[in-house]
Amino acid sequence: MAEKQNRELNRDLSSHQMQMIALGGTIGVGLFMGSASTIQWTGVSVILAYALAGFVLYLVMRALGEMLYVDPSVGSFANYATKYIHPLAGYLTVWANVFQWLTVGISETIAVGLYLDFWFPGIPSWVTGVVVLVTLTLANLTTVKAYGNMESWFSMIKVVTIILMIVLGLMVILFGFGNHWQPIGFSNLWQHGPFFAGGFKGFMFALSIVMTSYQGIEVIGITAGETENPKHAIVASIRSIVARILIFYIGAIFVIITIYPWNQLDQVGSPFVETFSRVGITAAAGIINFVMLTAAMSALNSGIFSSSRMLYTLALNKELPPKFLGLSKHHVPTLPILAISGGIFLGIILNAVLPFFWRGSSNIFVLVYSASTLPGMVPWFIILWSQIKFRRENEQHLVEHPFKMPLAPYTNYFAMIMLLITLVYMVINPDTRVPLFIGLGFLIIMSIIFLLTRKRHAKNK
């Protein structure tokens, strides 16, 4: 039954769109506006934090790629969790992904309204947020190709901005472009303190934040079921995507901490705005605001797509009513898309209304957004763990497999240990402790619900 339903979803996404979707889900507002905070934790060693986090995510994606090559199904890593670990693991993976993208979607829709206020200050931010939400919902309801095209353009805008920032930054560093032709050089990398400016604890605090900035890359595992020629697309996408993300992240951070003293970044504002302004681009604030607008819309777009497919997976597993399996004439899951968009809409309205009744509600969605960190890591743990079991049960598929996980299972254990260490330091860090416990509370509640209804789950299988 599940295989039949999966085949009904059109495979209209190309390899290029698959890569751009993964880029769009990973490169977000955090890089454009939030990079200064991670640099403050650890100084120049933040480059090492991005590299180490990128390596861990490379291992996660290689483990996912090995399984996807054999079984490119919709909601893939949730299905792997059920098959190779336990039905509870699959159940938690789906709901963790839905929770992650729902909270991200709410926050990003609110952010869209704030960014549009830059040009349209007279319109309430919740109104523009709803307009954008409706637009993206209609795009997702049209065809999966429409979603892929829109996400490709969103990602392209971010990628071009980052590349321009890196190129212009290097011109400032090497040739003094925008600095009266006086090269800035590389002295800012060592003149303002030791490499690990915040010590080991500061580095680990930064690493835990940096690790979360890569969340969304696993969306490749959800798009695989709707990709044309999935085996070729999976290999091409995973081989290139991690390298591109590392270049963009590490390249941008390197330029920032080379041009500006890392201990003075809190006075700079957005390093991207300042870099463009330095070389004479007077409309820098408007440009970066536009890029952040597209970044927020990209995250919202990915959230609607990803979480709706997870609801579809729940329906395939008989965890939701059969009506969630209904496909439109364009072969997209209509009710799951509308359900997720409806949840985001309620979040927008709640955000607009709650301040009138609760004075302390101004930061509630910041907390909720941050609470997606732990649920967002659940798919990574599941992918690494599932792939160990996958190897044991699919030895025949690995004989001529062209995309095997390197040095498995040792690399799996290394990656999982690194993820656990970052979670420990998120508990130690007072700035991330409460959001982490909110996410943990959600996972505990969903586990209790599963255990209380496990007889029904067993009956449905």
C-alpha–C-alpha distance, residues 247 and 233, integer Å: 21
pLDDT at 113 over 90: no
Percent of the chain with pLDDT over 90: 19
Q: Find the CATH number of the domain harbouring 201.
A: 1.20.1740.10
| Entry pTM | 0.83
445 SS3 class: helix
Which residues form the domain of 283? 2-460
Residue 395 has what pLDDT? Answer: 83
Sign of CA dihedral 222, 228, 229, 234: negative
Respond yes or no on whether the N-terminal peptide bond of residue 379 is cis (omega within 30° of 0).
Answer: no
Residues 6+ apart with CB under 8 A from 8: 327, 331
Sign of CA dihedral 156, 243, 102, 3: positive
pLDDT tens per residue, range 336-356: 999 999 999 988 887 777 767
pLDDT tens per residue, range 386-400: 999 999 888 888 888
> Which range among 122-136, 170-184, 259-273, 394-408 shows the weakest confidence by mean pLDDT?
259-273
Counted domains in the chain: 1
